[in-house]
Amino acid sequence: MSAELHQLGVAGLAAALRERKVSAVEAAHHHLSRIRAHQDLGAFVAIDEQLTLSQARAADDRIAAGSAAPLEGVPIAHKDIFVTADLPTTAGSRILAGYRSPFDATVVRKLGEAGAVTLGKLSCDEFAMGSANENVAVPAIGFDHAVPVRNPWDTGRIPGGSSGGSAVAVAARLAPGATGTDTGGSIRQPASFCGVTGIKPTYGRASRYGMVAFASSLDQAGPMARSAEDCALLLSAMCGPDPERDSTSLARPAEDFSRQLAGSLDGLRIGVPKEFFGEGVAPGVRAAVDAALAEYEKLGARRVEITLPRTELSIPVYYIIAAAEASSNLSRFDGVKFGHRAKNYRDLADMYAQTREEGFGDEVKRRIMIGTYVLSHGYYDAYYLQAQKVRRMIADDFQQAFAQCDVIAGPAAPSVAWKLGEHGDDPVADYLADIFTLPGSLAGLPGMSVPAGFDGGLPVGLQLIGNYFAEAKLLNAAHAFQQATDWHLRTPGGY
């Protein structure tokens, strides 16, 4: 069975482990060997085989004793934005070189308590700032310098970002599941580009404790895996209140997100925003999404035309609010307490300046400068305050839409993955790629990307957006679609 292990998703592997068809140690060995064989993709930045195998042996002992947790022995990997006590954490940045956390992030801890075995840490854009996973300053395993993560469907193309390493690990069958974070689309967009399933829950569902902060009012953890069923299992373990550690955590009890997976879609109203099908959408992407919507109609759902009139405003609103919060959050990286410190400096102020100059990459510096500007005296009201007002209007637009529909559907991104380096020094081109994911993030809504076809041999993702706390409904809609199609089962050649 070992030859087929990497083709099993989270649910399939969990079942095989419970039934003793395979051991956790065998599953760990198999995936570690695949990670080494495909390290040219640049997906992993840290592994510790002894740690992984030790966790796997403990999982086998619990299975043998009949005390297995839901994910017992299932190997997964974590985005390098979550702190881990047993593995280094860099958030993709030189400024955190050599940092070891004294504790695990809540999401990491909860998945461990559910029985998951840690394979390693995954590459991400520096401080989760990016749409391509090209803003990386930390070497991947097998490299002595920083490299962008490569899309396994075409290694000359980007995987999407910032959770590009997570999407690639799942797509290339290096791990059955992975954690990611989504600030403005960083789970949904790479899931779309790599042909995997990813879900961002309602803001506050999963604890942010131990997640290196980018934009505190937007950052949210979520899983990436092969299928909606796999994501439901992972999300059920990840979510739950954490009020003692995270002030943004919601007092909402953990729940089984797989409980509605098999439900019927008869009468489901799917809202289709006209703004998601404008001139900027590639014809192949639109065709794939239209075909997916037609499939939903066969399953008993009904299309409803809706409007989200402030969709275009989500880009300037997001890049004002996110940059403002980043400038505040990243002020803690000063070379005093942890991470990189400049060797040559004149005084304390110069140490701060030299450390941050050496430690931060260009995109991070750009966002810090924008954020500092919009928060400065004389500009706060004109930019930041206005952006927050429009953010509320965007959230109101969604509530008006949900009065007419149950789920909103459209493209996760206006195009498929572009070539490495294609956007060069034009950050705005990357920003525009997030236009369909940003509105839901600003409103704090749950959203997911589901494989829905191909355009020129590259994956296309269908985005599903639900109202607050409608994760189970989204996963039900995604699962029904995946039971009727096989897009999520397609594997890139050679993997």
* Active-site amino acid positions: 79, 162, 186
Q: Are 257 and 476 in contact (CB under 8 A)?
A: no
- The whole-angstrom distance between residue 454's C-alpha and the CA centroid of its chain comes to 21
Single-letter residue type at 120: G
Identify any residues that bridge with 179 across adjacent strands, giving them in sequence order: 223
CB 425 within 8 A of CB 179: no
What whole-number distance in Å separates Cα of residue 432 and Cα of residue 151?
Answer: 20
Q: How far apart are CA 41 and CA 473, in angstroms?
A: 34
Helix (H, G, I), strand (E, B) or coil at 482: helix
Q: How many Cβ atoms sit within 10 Å of the Cβ of residue 358?
A: 15
Residues 44/141, Cβ–Cβ less than 8 Å? yes
Paired residues of 455 in beta bridges: 458
Q: Are 475 and 430 in contact (CB under 8 A)?
A: no
Round to whole Å and give the CA distance between 291 and 5.
32
Q: How far apart are CA 181 and CA 158, in angstroms?
A: 18
Beta bridge partners of 220: 182
